[in-house]
Amino acid sequence: GEDEAIKPETIKSPSNRSMLISAEIDNDLEPGDSVNVTFAIVAGKKSGTDLPSFDTKEQKSDFYLNAGWALRAYNGEDKNGNGILDPDEDLDGNGKITRYILPAPPTPPKVKAIPQNQSVVIYWDKRAEASIDPISAIKDFEGYRIYRTNPGYDLTEAQDINASLITIAEFDSVGNEIGFNTGFDFIEMEQPIKFSGDDTEYWYKFEIENQLNGWQYIYSVTAFDQGDPVNNLESLESGPLANLQKIIPGTPAEDEQDVEIGVYPNPYYGNAYWDGNSERLRKIYFYNLPSECEITIYTLSGDVVKRIYHDQQSNGSDLRWFETFSKDAKQQMSGGEHAWDLITESDQAIATGLYLFTVKNSKNGNIKRGKFLVIK
């Protein structure tokens, strides 16, 4: 009788594990010669509702699509698959066919974020717009997306930043059927700006208002392309983790004598919403501080509780809170605020009570005074 394993209806049955590997070999292959053979492992989900045994072309459409991408990836620069590097195919200029090229999103933009009082300003450059798609060999940049975490995302030690980022704005090119066709007039500046110590030309600016001072946010800007309709490829987007900016909004440094300094939260009731679960994971903020100053905290009887030295580069990295919930010490503060963990010079948590403080401007010697209440 006929072998059951080679009956067509058996081969096409669900869960069949039969395998066939074949390759076309040149007839001129001589004894002792060798040849390189490239294989691709391709899978595809069955399309439609017909039974698998129908084995139709439509059912295998995803499989054919995936096989096509495997072939295009192998061909790489050899777009027409003729095995010859044609003059317009040498994208990297090395004089030989570069294979295994996969679709790629645009280059991530360079991003700079500036914390302000209850807002954050995001700047980024145009490098993404010069990106060339490695498959189509054309510039197919389409637009930008801006992401942000919500306040409080960081209050667990096992943070999932990717899952915490939400889209807050999107801008894309006009004149096509992709996206919202917003254009870039709303965010593009007339002239690029540079920042001290940074040669990047930043062309775009977007201000995010109504941010909560003292809370840690993460911002990111991604670039996305037009996709490749010919090859049934959706738009690709650069990774949001490529240019994360960890920002704590707050007041800028204030050297003016008539600006009032203060503390928040005030009163401090046992703990703030942003606190962790131990004494050393608490914090309050001094605000409207000079760019360089000394903060001295006193009891009502005049005993020194804590001395803190502040400059506008301070970012709280000396506190356990930021060691726990920020980890990489890359958080950026506004320059005029300083976090304190309520731990005294003698390494003890402060008690309930009213506390006085002075802020001495290191540049001009001016002294300002204030008070805050702790209730536990």
Say what the pLDDT of residue 21 is: 77
Question: One-letter amino acid identity for 87?
Answer: P
Q: At 234, phi and psi to the nearest 5? A: -70, 165
Domains of the chain: 1-102 (no CATH), 111-247 (2.60.40), 262-375 (2.60.40.4070)
Asked which of 7-16, 87-96, 117-126, 127-136 is least confident by mean pLDDT, the reply is 7-16
Q: Are the beta carbons of 103 and 133 closer than 8 angstroms? A: yes
Other beta carbons within 10 angstroms of residue 242's beta carbon come to 16
pLDDT digits (tens, 9 = 90+) for 309-321: 999 999 999 999 9
The answer to whether residue 218 scores a pLDDT higher than 90 is yes
Question: One-letter amino acid identity for 271?
Answer: N
Q: How confident is the model at residue 1 (pLDDT cuts 50, 70, 90)?
A: very low
Return d(Cα 374, Cα 376) in angstroms, integer. 7
Return d(Cα 216, Cα 213) in angstroms, integer. 8
The answer to whether residue 8 scores a pLDDT higher than 90 is no
Say what the pLDDT of residue 4 is: 55
pLDDT digits (tens, 9 = 90+) for 149-194: 999 988 875 678 999 999 999 999 998 988 899 999 999 999 999 9
Tokens found for residue 253: 């440094």
The answer to whether residue 278 scores a pLDDT higher than 90 is no
Return d(Cα 328, Cα 325) in angstroms, integer. 9
Secondary structure element (H or E) that encloses residue 71, with its range:
helix 61-75
The answer to whether residue 15 scores a pLDDT higher than 80 is no
pLDDT digits (tens, 9 = 90+) for 33-43: 888 888 899 99
Say what the pLDDT of residue 6 is: 58
Say what the pLDDT of residue 115 is: 98
Q: How confident is the model at residue 30 (pLDDT cuts 50, 70, 90)?
A: confident
Q: Are the beta carbons of 376 and 353 closer than 8 angstroms? A: no
Residue 53 DSSP SS3? helix
The answer to whether residue 12 scores a pLDDT higher than 70 is no
Q: Span 119-141, mean pLDDT?
A: 93
pLDDT digits (tens, 9 = 90+) for 234-267: 899 999 999 999 999 999 999 888 899 999 999 9
How far lies 181's CA from each of 105, 109, 124, 178, 222, in Å?
Answer: 19, 20, 20, 7, 17
Return d(Cα 52, Cα 57) in angstroms, integer. 11
Q: How confident is the model at residue 327 (pLDDT cuts 50, 70, 90)?
A: confident
> Vertex 279, ends 276 and 280: CA angle to 5°?
75
Return d(Cα 154, Cα 138) in angstroms, integer. 40
Other beta carbons within 10 angstroms of residue 36's beta carbon come to 4
Tokens found for residue 204: 């775009």
The string of DSSP codes covering 215-240 is --EEEEEEEEE--BGGGTB---B--G
Return d(Cα 115, Cα 127) in angstroms, integer. 24
The answer to whether residue 345 scores a pLDDT higher than 90 is yes
Q: Are the beta carbons of 292 and 308 closer than 8 angstroms? A: no
Q: Span 3-31, mean pLDDT?
A: 69
Q: Which of 71-85, 150-164, 285-299 has the highest mean pLDDT?
A: 285-299
Say what the pLDDT of residue 267 is: 95
Give the number of residues written for the chain: 376
